[in-house]
Amino acid sequence: MQITEETLTTEQKILQAARKLFIQKGLTGTRMDDIAKEAGINKALLHYYFRSKEKLFELVFEEESKHFLGKILDAIESDKSLFEKIAQLVEIDTEHYLHNSCGASVPMFVFYEMARDPELAARQMRFKTGLTRRIMDVFGQQIKIEIEKGTIRPIDPSDLFINIMGLVLMPFMAKPMLQIMHDWDEETFRQIAEKRKKEITEFIINAIKV
Amino acid sequence: MQITEETLTTEQKILQAARKLFIQKGLTGTRMDDIAKEAGINKALLHYYFRSKEKLFELVFEEESKHFLGKILDAIESDKSLFEKIAQLVEIDTEHYLHNSCGASVPMFVFYEMARDPELAARQMRFKTGLTRRIMDVFGQQIKIEIEKGTIRPIDPSDLFINIMGLVLMPFMAKPMLQIMHDWDEETFRQIAEKRKKEITEFIINAIKV
DNA sequence: TTTTAGTTTAACCAGATGATTAAATGAATT
DNA sequence: AATTCATTTAATCATCTGGTTAAACTAAAA
């Protein structure tokens, strides 16, 4: 059965609308009325389903930040060589943000809200220490082995991790500026992001391989 | 003469306060009262100096986005070899954001507000076509020459540009998450950003040199 | 048909927030 | 000392916004 607007429960419609608007406009830039309108209902029903704006926001943020880290872990936990794993990390993340943009970037949303509200950052990361530690452990271990084998130059795993994230995410975070700078329409942007998958992977591998 | 709080004009104090808060909390997250309080004055005086929140915000944004692109152009227009230029671009940008953070990141501020308000993005970029075109022209020309000389692998200049920006800016944009993930205090973060200057430069050069 | 329980809405409230105004203050000038 | 003009403030306004409430509607159960 196809999922149309009608088949969604009101709760799902609200969550979908909230997600879209929070990612696009942020917590403080989004009105409860806007979410209601986007979901095709009114404000009171919003509070019937979700007690408060903060509660609704926290749900959306929790989901997105977990998803963000989850995607990374998926790629890193796979049983592959380092180079294949990097290719997969680039592929999975790019693909995810290419088809999940809401007209704005999820990583931007996550980082921005964390910067705006350190309490939120601390609270949310507290429940993700398992995820993050696992990411760094698995990745760090594999890097260490490759360095010892002499297949790649010595590099701090967290540095390499930041580098990969930077290369993958930058086009999505800087999208509005890049689009205007280079006069890219949506389709052109998509093509460039698509093409970057291969190019970034090679860029990274060239950068680290001996 | 040292610049203390007393030597600043009221206008400067307001702009300083507005800058700090807008960068930290964004347009929609910042209250006019907060700016007044931060500047040590009251709300009415704010409107006496700057007609409206939007006007004040636009001034701050204009300044920061111009500065952001200006720093890049400074490095790119210098009379140096490509590799030296990349080193300088990394150095200048990192140094700038290391000493200009407001507890939050300027590039994040610029990108975020552009994503939140496409009108603002279009309006602001319209006056910066000279800057951006100059950046891409000068950079593109030099890349082309190096590729023809065979010193670097073929790469689209805008791709390389995005890559450099991603590598330099990512730690600053993801700072809250990274700090919690790795348990870095401010000083540790500073040291890591400092150390990355050399490492990123080598990373990039290894990635592109034949 | 009546009852009942889950949905949905319009109207309203209290506090927040951007903006205005008229009066007060203070320092420089006459 | 009196005048003048730029600063500064407290009080106030109109609107926005998150949240509440009581009533209306709907469809299934009795």
pLDDT tens for A134-172 read 999 999 999 999 999 999 999 999 999 999 999 999 999
| Predicted pLDDT at A175 | 95
| Predicted pLDDT at B6 | 47
* Nucleotides of strand C under 7 angstroms from a protein beta carbon: 7-11, 16-22
**Residue B58 burial by Cβ neighbours in a 10 Å radius (0-12, 13-18, 19+):** middle
- Tell me the pLDDT tens digit for each residue of A15-44: 999 999 999 999 999 999 999 999 988 888
Please report which confidence band the pLDDT of residue A207 belongs to, taking 50, 70 and 90 as the band edges.
very high
Closest C-alpha to A133, from A144, A123, A125? A125
| Predicted pLDDT at B7 | 57
How far CA B121 is from CA of A86, A149, B73, B154, B162, in Å, comes to: 33, 48, 19, 31, 18
A52 touches strand D (CB under 7 A): yes
* Nucleotides of strand D under 7 angstroms from a protein beta carbon: 7-11, 16-22
Amino acid identity for residue A20 in this structure: K
Q: Is A6 helix (H, G, I), strand (E, B) or coil?
A: coil
CA–C1' nearest nucleotide, residue B45: D8
Nearest 5°: phi and psi at A30? -105, 135
Q: What percent of chain B has pLDDT over 90?
A: 80
- Tell me the pLDDT tens digit for each residue of B49-97: 998 999 999 999 999 999 989 989 999 999 999 999 999 999 999 998 8
Provide the shortest C-alpha distance from residue A156 to chain B (in Å). 10
Contact residues, B window 151-210, toward A, CB-based 8 Å cutoff = 153, 155-156, 158-159, 162-163, 165-171, 173-178, 180-182, 196, 199-200, 203-204, 206-208
CA–C1' nearest nucleotide, residue B42: D9
Whole-number mean pLDDT of chain B? 92
- Tell me the pLDDT tens digit for each residue of B134-188: 999 999 999 999 999 999 999 999 999 999 999 999 999 999 999 999 999 999 9
Å: B50 CA to D11 C1': 21
**CB atoms A176 and B115 under 8 Å:** yes
Contact residues, B window 88-127, toward A, CB-based 8 Å cutoff = 103-105, 107-108, 110-112, 114-116, 118, 121-122, 125
A54 touches strand D (CB under 7 A): yes
| Predicted pLDDT at B1 | 31
Report the range of poorest mean pLDDT among A119-133, A141-155, B102-116. Answer: B102-116
**CB atoms A26 and B203 under 8 Å:** no
- Tell me the pLDDT tens digit for each residue of A66-116: 998 998 999 999 999 999 999 999 999 999 888 877 767 899 999 999 999
Please report which confidence band the pLDDT of residue A7 belongs to, taking 50, 70 and 90 as the band edges.
low
Q: Which residue in the block uniquely carries the two structure tokens 């979700």? A: A50
Which residues does residue A118 pair with via DSSP β-bridges, in sequence order?
Answer: none
Interface test with B, best of A64, A173, A198 (most B CBs within 10 A): A173
> At residue A5, does pLDDT exceed 80?
no
Indicate the pTM of the whole model. Answer: 0.92
Provide the shortest C-alpha distance from residue A2 to chain B (in Å). 31
Q: What is the dihedral of CA B194, B197, B198, B203, to 10 degrees?
A: 140
Chain A residues lying within 8 Å of B153, measured CB to CB: 206
With contact defined as beta carbons under 8 Å apart, do A24 and A41 qualify?
no
| Predicted pLDDT at A4 | 39
**Residue B11 burial by Cβ neighbours in a 10 Å radius (0-12, 13-18, 19+):** exposed
CA pair distance B195, A158, nearest whole angstrom: 13
> At residue B9, does pLDDT exceed 90?
no
